[in-house]
Amino acid sequence: MTAASELKYFASSDGDLAYREAGAGDLVVLLHSGYVDHRVFDAQIPALAGTHRVVAADVRGHGASANATKPFRWADDLADLLRHLDAGPAVLVGVSMGGVIVGDTLLEHPELVRAAVVCGASTGEFQDSDPWHREIQAATARALASGDVEGWLKAFLSYVPGPHRTLDDLDPDIPRRLREMALNTVSKHTVGETNWHVPVTDTWPRLPKVEVPVLTVNGALDTADVIAAAQRLADTVQNGRAVLIEGTGHYPNMEKPEEFTAVIREFLGTL
């Protein structure tokens, strides 16, 4: 786990939010997927910090950041952090849930966004209809409701390789790292606690107004619905492009970190 001394904290209106910072230059902010934390970007942070100021945040309720005690939106938390950093507008890069936060921030706080990379996501109003994915969602919900942490972890990790592979097909270090992060986040919460998160709505109709460059990145072995929704996002904004990384599932940044980082570098070079 990242040493506490390496983390910085921003005093939000509802507790301290943690982030890791490295490098100097134009700002790039990395947003992680659900249940884990900024460490999913352990390969990207040093690689990008050679040319950019990189901030990798722990989203509220995750990692070292405070849990919510009142209604909130992740896009508003990110906007407050960007204003605190006083270095925007920023390039936002998000994976899965982090990608949704990037999309929400594009719509709710466009003045703070220079460009966006959305990986393994589209908008928060997307629902994957793939039966395999829906069964995983149901299994994780059942396990969380009953406090079955091991059952939840099994369901959560089964999504990582995508519907065409199993965990045995991955480098074992990937599920090990994800498990460690997920256990840390889950330990912050209790069964039946209030979910204070307020989703952003009316997303798809507003996307045609997005003018900044948007890149969607997906693992080619993710579900067809996720890949199609990312393509729809790229096609709907005014300046969008979609990329697939072959041989990877929902976490191309972890499965093929050098290739993922090269895609981000190429995109940054066009700005």
Number of Cβ within a 10 Å radius of residue 134: 12
The answer, yes or no, to whether residue 13 has pLDDT greater than 60, is yes
pLDDT in tens, 96-113: 999 999 999 999 999 999
| Domain-embedded: residue 153 | no
- pLDDT tier at 166 (50, 70, 90 boundaries)? very high
Number of Cβ within a 10 Å radius of residue 105: 27
Q: Are 180 and 1 in contact (CB under 8 A)?
A: yes
Domain range for 22 is: 4-128+195-269
Residue 104: CATH number of its domain: 3.40.50.1820
Query: How many angstroms separate the Cα of 166 from the Cα of each of 101, 140, 150, 212, 251?
Result: 28, 17, 18, 37, 14
Judging by DSSP bridges, how do beta strands 27-31 and 90-95 pair with one another? parallel
Its pTM stands at: 0.95
Q: Are 239 and 213 in contact (CB under 8 A)?
A: yes
Q: Cα–Cα distance between 21 and 196 in angstroms, integer?
A: 27
Q: Cα–Cα distance between 88 and 79 in angstroms, integer?
A: 10
Residue carrying the six token digits 């989703």:
199
Tell me how many domains the chain contains.
Answer: 1
The structure tokens listed for 157 are: 């990790």
| Domain-embedded: residue 48 | yes
| Domain-embedded: residue 184 | no
Average pLDDT, the chain: 94
Which DSSP letter does residue 238 get?
T
Q: Cα–Cα distance between 182 and 213 in angstroms, integer?
A: 32
| Domain-embedded: residue 156 | no
| Domain-embedded: residue 145 | no
